[in-house]
Amino acid sequence: MFEFIKLINRHNFKMLLRIKLMFCVVFIWGNLFAQDKILKKSNDTLVTKILSIDAQKVQFYSFDDVNKSSKEVLLKDIYKIIWRNGKEYIIDEAFNKQKIIEQPVLTKSEPINVNSEKKEINEKVVLNQKLEQLKYKHFIFLFFYADNKRVNARKINRILKQNDYQTHRYFSEALKERKKGRIIQWVGATLGIFTLLNAGELYQYIGWGIAGYGTILQWQANAEFKNVINLYEEKRLSGQLSIQKLPQR
């Protein structure tokens, strides 16, 4: 009787393990083939991974491009963007609304002072350059620095939130990606260890494969962290930092 109960418990454990592995494989499959879509006014559809968006253009690489070469398309040529989560962003509607909000109201008696506008732009550049300087160092682990003082990723994210909406959003997404990678890595390693004791070699390979995928996600997040900091520094030095919201995923 005791041997029979032990056999049933072992069978239930293996069934539960198979179900967990199946869900992990489905989750990984969905993430591997997630993609953004750019619908152009010429009716062309670009299947991409969007890297960045500003007020003039969208930077991306084609989903089927093995080399991941960066390309650009002008916002005026785009009808809408469909993010990988299904959310749609119609360019003309959003930017026309923004122009109406931002457009200054001038009366006939108000002269346009070009020198004053240039002075404001120069002042903005100087103010941007006085904001925190961010950089990173990457040997085995990735370390972040703000004004040459070592800080953690959350501190970097808070600085970006205060100074620039676009880079803050990208950095936040990379943080989520890293967290997801760590969870998947932990789940895969746990499955690999348990299956080493209670199941066959196939399940061990699947468990360690899942852990490997989690590691890859963390590498991708680290690469995105570096891209975001480089983008922030370019915008800081050129006076283009802004807390204005841009198209969201």
pLDDT tens digits, one per residue of 236-248: 888 888 876 655 5
Q: Which two tokens stand for residue 146?
A: 């703000």
Mean pLDDT of 44-66: 79
Q: Once rounded to an integer, what is the mean pLDDT over residues 116-124?
A: 47
Q: What are phi and psi of 136, to 5 degrees?
A: -140, 160
Specify whether the CB–CB gap between 235 and 128 falls below 8 A: yes
Banded model confidence at residue 4, pLDDT cuts 50, 70, 90: very low
Residue 25 pLDDT greater than 60, yes or no = no
Residue holding tokens 């991708």? 220
Helices 165-198 and 201-238, packing angle to 10 deg:
170
The whole-number pLDDT of residue 15 equals 55
CA atoms within 13 A on the CB side of 143: 8
Model confidence band, residue 180 (pLDDT cutoffs 50, 70, 90): very high
What does 29-74 look like in DSSP terms, one character per residue? HHHHT--EEEEETTS-EEEEEEEEE-SSEEEEEETT-TT---EEEE
User: Across 49-58, 86-95, 112-121, 143-152, which has the greatest mean pLDDT?
Assistant: 143-152
Q: Are 243 and 164 in contact (CB under 8 A)?
A: yes
Q: Residue 101 is encoded by which pair of tokens?
A: 């909000």
Amino acid 8: pLDDT:
43
pLDDT of residue 103: 40
Structure tokens at 48: 């991409």
Query: Which token pair is 102?
Result: 């931002």
Integer Cα distance of 56 and 74 in angstroms: 6
Helix 165-198, helix 153-163: angle, nearest 10: 150
- Which amino acid makes up residue 130? K
CA 226 to chain centre: 12
Q: What are phi and psi of 58, to 5 degrees?
A: -120, 130
**Rounded-to-integer distance, Cα 172 and Cα 151, Å:** 16
How big is the CA angle at 44 (ends 38 and 49), to the nearest 5 degrees?
30
3-state secondary structure of 160: helix
- pLDDT-derived band of residue 12, with 50, 70 and 90 as boundaries? low
pLDDT value for 81: 83
- Residues 60-107 pLDDT 10s: 888 777 777 888 888 888 888 887 766 776 766 555 544 433 344 444
Spatial separation of the C-alpha atoms in residues 220 and 132, rounded to whole Å: 25
Please list, in sequence order, all residues whose beta carbon lies within 8 angstroms of the beta carbon of residue 143, skipping any fewer than 6 positions away: 136, 137, 150
Q: Is the pLDDT of residue 114 over 50?
A: no
